[in-house]
Amino acid sequence: MTMNHSSPLPLRAIAPDVCVAPQLAPEAMAEAARQGFRSVVNNRPDFEHGPNQPTNASIEAAARAAGLEYRFLPVESAHQTPEQIAAFAALMRALPRPILVFCRSGARSARLYMAAQAL
């Protein structure tokens, strides 16, 4: 995937075909599809920091409407269990690439990716 550095999405590449981002809104899913992403993984639990956060259901609906594969794997920001890391590794193997992964800041998704690579 060729990274569009003038992208309206706040992306950070962590692998040639995997990017992380901070919290994305449902409206961002169409832009992700335009940029060539084929899959999106949401690592942020619903209502983690209050009711103003977009819900998983609203993001999933927008992702599917944009033709994207979508998975919800909520993990806590401070700790990811071995089971969550294994589930994330399985998603990375199964989902069509390029993949966009997001959480509140992008940091937990990046940590999860790095932990999954060690399996």
Regarding pTM above 0.85, the answer is yes
By residue range, what is the domain housing residue 52? 12-117
DSSP secondary structure letters along the chain: ----TT-SS--EEEETTEEEES---TTHHHHHHHTT--EEEE-SPTTTT-TTSPPHHHHHHHHHHTT-EEEE----SS---HHHHHHHHHHHHHS-SSEEEE-SSSHHHHHHHHHHHT-
Span 105-117, pLDDT tens digits: 999 999 999 999 9
Residue at 1 is within a domain: no
> Domain tally for the chain?
1
Provide the CATH number for the domain around residue 52: 3.90.190.10
CA distance 103 to 31: 17
Span 18-58, pLDDT tens digits: 999 999 999 999 999 999 999 999 999 999 988 889 999 99
Residue at 6 is within a domain: no
Residue at 63 is within a domain: yes
Work out the mean pLDDT of the chain and round it to a whole number.
Answer: 93
Residue at 2 is within a domain: no
Span 66-119, pLDDT tens digits: 999 999 999 999 899 999 999 999 999 999 999 999 999 999 999 999 999 999
Residue at 3 is within a domain: no
